[in-house]
Structure 1
Amino acid sequence: MKKSQLVAALALLSTPALAATPPEGVDFQPRRGFYTDTNIGVFFTVGGENAYSNAQTYLQLGVGYDLTERISLGAHFGMGSSAQNCFAGYLPGTETCALSDNFTMQFLDVTAAYHVRLMDRLYLTPKLVAGYTRMDPAPVDPDEGDPGRAISSPNAGVGVGLEYATGMDHFSVGADLLARYVIGPNITSFAIFPKVKYTF
């Protein structure tokens, strides 16, 4: 008798528990808001007399804000080097670059990204960038002054990446491919880098 009463009580208690929404049934919502990201990868330029430069280290730091679940705006500072790629042309009758074929490129850009959900926690992130580039020393003839001095020009570019919201709250990881065109010197650069993002 006692056993049957116990079974009946357990059955009644289990009914509300079964009616509750299981945790696995709740859609994952990535954290959105103010964020910072750190990126270290490789950088190279294309075009010029040497077709492409040797791959060099690339560093990028950024801050931004997720306006919505899908749209983000950010500001990024990036730095890389073009190694062994001549954009000023060779001196007549030689294969010596008229100006330096090794120069640093520093980017200060505004970035707009759109998050396309591929699956739970994983997003495709196409993006647009625009800003200014400082090149030191000048890889092409400056308008005036010392040809060894730095010059600055506007840039614009596009990129695409993958972003994964990890199980650790606040942290996302991913990887980006970013192409920029420096207007004026007509230099195209590529940066490929993994990314660590922290959303407050």
Structure 2
Amino acid sequence: MKKSQLIAALALLSSPVLAATPPEGVAFEPRRGFFTETDIGVFFTVGGENVYSNAQTYLQLGVGYDLTEKLSLGAHFGLGSSAQNCFAGYLPGTETCALSDNFTMAFFNLSAAYHVRVMDRLFLTPKVVAGYTRLDPAPVDPDEGDPGRAVNAPNAGLGFGVEYATGMDHFSVGADLLARYIIGPNITSFAIFPKVKYTF
């Protein structure tokens, strides 16, 4: 008797449970809004007397906001360095760079990215960037003629990346390739980095 009553009670309880909408029936929507981003990767320059520089560590921190599901704006600070690539030319008769062939490059950039959905959680993210660069010490002749001082110059560039919205709410991961041209010193740089994005 008790066993049959228990089975009847479980049968009654199972009806509302089965009536609930299964998670698989709800279309996935990535979280959008204010976000922060942390990126660590590699950085190098091309051109100059040595054709390309040695790869160095690149760090980038950023904040931004998703205006729509497809369009986001951001502001980023990036820091890398060019190692063993001479942009000032060699001293006559030598292979010694006229100025420093090792210098730090600090970027302050604004960016606009477009999100192209490939799969439920996977997006392609082409982007444009523009901003300000500080090169220290000067890899090319500064206007004031002091080779020890830093050079400030505008930059502009293009990037391409992938972004995956993880099963952990708020977190996305991905990777970017970013090319920037520093106007004035005429230096091209590349940064390749994985990224972790947190959307509030």
Normalised by the length of structure 1, the TM-score is: 0.91
The separation in 1 between residues aligned to 2:147 and 2:176, in whole angstroms, is: 34
Q: 1:25: how far off?
A: 2.0
Runs of 4+ in 1 over 4 A off after TM superposition: 16-21
The separation in 2 between residues aligned to 1:121 and 1:49, in whole angstroms, is: 44
Unaligned runs of 5+ in 1: none
Structure 2 equivalent of residue 47 of structure 1: 47
Q: How does 1:4-153 map to 2 (within 5 A)?
A: 21-153=21-153
The separation in 1 between residues aligned to 2:187 and 2:45, in whole angstroms, is: 7
Aligned-partner SS, 1:156: strand
| Matching of residue 199 in structure 1 with residue 177 in structure 2 | no
The separation in 2 between residues aligned to 1:164 and 1:60, in whole angstroms, is: 19
Q: 1:21: how far off?
A: 4.4
The separation in 2 between residues aligned to 1:156 and 1:107, in whole angstroms, is: 10
Q: 1:18: how far off?
A: 6.9
Aligned-partner SS, 1:48: coil
Letter in 2 for 1:112: A
Letter in 2 for 1:135: L
Normalised by the length of structure 2, the TM-score is: 0.91
Aligned-partner SS, 2:24: helix
Aligned-partner SS, 2:85: coil
The separation in 1 between residues aligned to 2:50 and 2:93, in whole angstroms, is: 16
Aligned-partner SS, 1:24: helix
Q: How does 1:183-198 map to 2 (within 5 A)?
A: 183-198=183-198
Give deviations 1:55-85, integer Å, cap 9, x for gaps.
0000000000000011000000000000000
Q: 1:148: how far off?
A: 1.3
Give deviations 1:150-193, integer Å, cap 9, x for gaps.
01000000001111111111111111000000001100000000
| Matching of residue 175 in structure 1 with residue 153 in structure 2 | no
The separation in 1 between residues aligned to 2:36 and 2:135, in whole angstroms, is: 25
Give deviations 1:18-41, integer Å, cap 9, x for gaps.
776432021100110000000000
Q: 1:91: how far off?
A: 0.7
Q: 1:117: how far off?
A: 0.5
The separation in 2 between residues aligned to 1:27 and 1:88, in whole angstroms, is: 56
Letter in 2 for 1:91: L
The separation in 1 between residues aligned to 2:70 and 2:81, in whole angstroms, is: 33
Identity of aligned residues (%): 83
Superposition CA RMSD, Å: 1.8
Aligned-partner SS, 2:118: strand
The separation in 2 between residues aligned to 1:75 and 1:22, in whole angstroms, is: 39
